[in-house]
Amino acid sequence: MIQGGAIVGAETAGFDTVNLDVVIARHIRRLVGEFTPVTCCNANRQNQVSRWDLLWLLESRAEARLTKALYRLDSLQGSAKKTMALLDRYEPFFAGHPGLAAAQAQAAESW
């Protein structure tokens, strides 16, 4: 599905980044249900990386890519209309996400 597009720049390769973001988020949500909770504050696990750490890293990178794309469209390119259209595509899956809500408020203000 990705085939290098994420490495060289998905937008320039004609890859639909919205679908990529939704696939990543679905994967994360599925894994959250499968992982067992990590015991907190155990001296034996103090400096070990857990599955949760890797999952949170994946989630944060995906969210950063998403919010950066919205920021680029609205603040750098000045295209509130394109930003709102992109937000409409994200809305069915990411409804209520604080980063998207902030981007929507920013785009509406500059519309």
Residue 18 confidence (pLDDT) above 70: yes
Looking at residue 6, what is its pLDDT?
Answer: 47
Global pTM reads 0.72
DSSP type of residue 40: S
Contacts with 75 (C-beta within 8 Å, 6 or more apart), sequence order: 106
Quick one: pLDDT at residue 98? 92
Residue showing tokens 């696990």: 45
Numbers of helices and strands, H then E, in the chain: 5, 0
When comparing pLDDT for 1 and 91, which is higher? 91
Q: Mean pLDDT over residues 31-49, rounded?
A: 75
- pLDDT: which is higher, 11 or 101: 101
Domain boundaries, the chain: 5-110
Q: Residue 42: pLDDT band by 50, 70, 90 thresholds? A: low
31 and 54 Cβ atoms separated by less than 8 Å? no
Per-residue pLDDT at 2 exceeds 50: no
Which positions ≥6 away from 98 have C-beta within 8 Å? none
Per-residue model confidence (pLDDT) at position 5: 46
According to the model, what pLDDT value does residue 108 have?
92
In this prediction, residue 85 carries a pLDDT of 94
